[in-house]
Amino acid sequence: MNPTKKLFPLGRTATAAIVGCFLAGCLLANVLHAASAPTNSVVGWPFTPPAEIKPPLVRHADQITNAIDNFILARLKEKGLTLAPAASARTLVRRLYFDLIGLPPSPTEVDAFLNDPDPKAYATLVDKLLDDSRYGERWARFWLDLARYADTAGYEGDPDLPNAWRYRDYVIDAFNQDKPYDQFVIEQIAGDEAEEIMGAGDLPDSKPEPTVALTFLRLAPFTEPRGDASRHEMLSEMTATVSSVFLGLTVGCAQCHNHKYDRIPTKDFYRMKAFFSTVQLQRPLPGDIFQLGGPLPAAFYRKGEKEWAAKLTDQRNAELAEPRSLVAALDKIEDVGKKSDPKISLTPEQREQRSKAKARIRLVEQDLKRLQPVAMSLRHSYGPPFEPGVPETRVLNRGEWDKPGEVVEPGFPSVITGNQDPAPIRLDPFKRWPTRSRRLALAEWIASSENPMTARVMVNRLWDWHFGRGLVATPSDFGKLSGGASHPELIDWLAWRFVDSKWSVKAMHRLILNSATYCQSSRYHDSKAETADPENTLLWRFRPRRLEAEAVRDAVLAVSGRLNPEQFGLPIFPPLPEGLAEEVKYDDSKWATQDGPEGRKRSVYIYQQRSMTMPFMQTFDSVVCDASRDRRQVSVTPLQALAMYNGRFANEEATHFAARVRKDAGESPGAQIQLAFKTALGREPAPEESERMQALMKSSTEGSDAVAAVCRVLLNANEFVYVE
Partner 1 sequence: MSNNPFQDARWSRGYGSGRRQFLGRMFHGFGGIALSGLLAREARGASPIIDPLAVKAPAFPRKAKNCIMLFMCGGVSQVDSFEYKPKLNEFHGKRIPHIPKIASGELQGRLTFAHQCVGSPFKFQQHGQSRRYISELFPNLARHVDDLAFIHGIQVDNQNHGPATLHVATGSQFPGSPSVGSWVRYGLGSANQNLPGYVVIQDPRGAPTNGAAVWGNGYLPAAYQGTFLRPTGTPIVDLARPQGVSAAQQRQEFDALAWLNRRHLGDASRDSELEARISAYELAFRMQTAAPELVDLSGETEETKALYGLDHPKTAGFGRQCLLARRLVERGVRHTLLLHGVQIGKDSWDDHGNVKDGMIKHSREVDLPVAGLLADLKRRGLLDETLVVWASEMGRTSFVTGSVGDKVGRDHNGHALCMWMAGGDVKGGATAGATDDFSLCAADEPIPIRDVHATLLNLLGLDEENLTYHYAGRIRRLTDIQANVLRQIIA
Closer Cβ to partner 1, 77 or 543, answer by number: 543
d(CA 23, CA 602): 60
Closer Cβ to partner 1, 192 or 621, answer by number: 621
Taking the CA atoms of the chain, what radius of gyration do you get in angstroms?
A: 28
Minimum CB–partner distance for residue 199 and partner 1 (Å)? 43
Minimum CB–partner distance for residue 412 and partner 1 (Å)? 18
φ/ψ (deg, to 5) at 404: -70, 145
Cβ-contact 590, 552 below 8 angstroms: no
Supply angle C-alpha 280, 286, 290, rounded to 5: 70
Cβ-contact 53, 47 below 8 angstroms: no
Length of the chain: 724
If one counts every other C-beta atom within 10 angstroms of the C-beta of residue 299, the result is 14
Minimum CB–partner distance for residue 605 and partner 1 (Å)? 21
Closer Cβ to partner 1, 431 or 525, answer by number: 525
d(CA 383, CA 421): 25
Closer Cβ to partner 1, 146 or 440, answer by number: 146
Minimum CB–partner distance for residue 18 and partner 1 (Å)? 31
Angle between helices 648-665 and 549-560 (to 10 degrees): 30
The b-or-e profile of 329-350 (16+ CB within 10 A means b, else e) is ebeebbeeeeeeeeeeeeeeee
**Chain mean position to CA 33:** 37
Helix (H) or strand (E) holding 367: helix 348-370
Closer Cβ to partner 1, 33 or 590, answer by number: 590
Minimum CB–partner distance for residue 716 and partner 1 (Å)? 5
Closer Cβ to partner 1, 280 or 611, answer by number: 611
Cβ-contact 705, 667 below 8 angstroms: no
Cβ-contact 150, 168 below 8 angstroms: no
d(CA 214, CA 721): 35
Whether the link from the prior residue into 534 is cis, omega within 30° of 0, is no
Minimum CB–partner distance for residue 696 and partner 1 (Å)? 4
Closer Cβ to partner 1, 566 or 595, answer by number: 595
**Chain mean position to CA 221:** 16
Closer Cβ to partner 1, 212 or 576, answer by number: 576
Closer Cβ to partner 1, 432 or 629, answer by number: 629
Minimum CB–partner distance for residue 131 and partner 1 (Å)? 30
Minimum CB–partner distance for residue 692 and partner 1 (Å)? 6
Phi-psi region of 154 (alpha: psi -120 to 50; beta: other; left: phi over 0): left
Cβ-contact 616, 647 below 8 angstroms: yes
Minimum CB–partner distance for residue 644 and partner 1 (Å)? 9
CB proximity list for 274: less than 8 A, separation 6 or greater: 393, 408, 409, 410, 411, 438
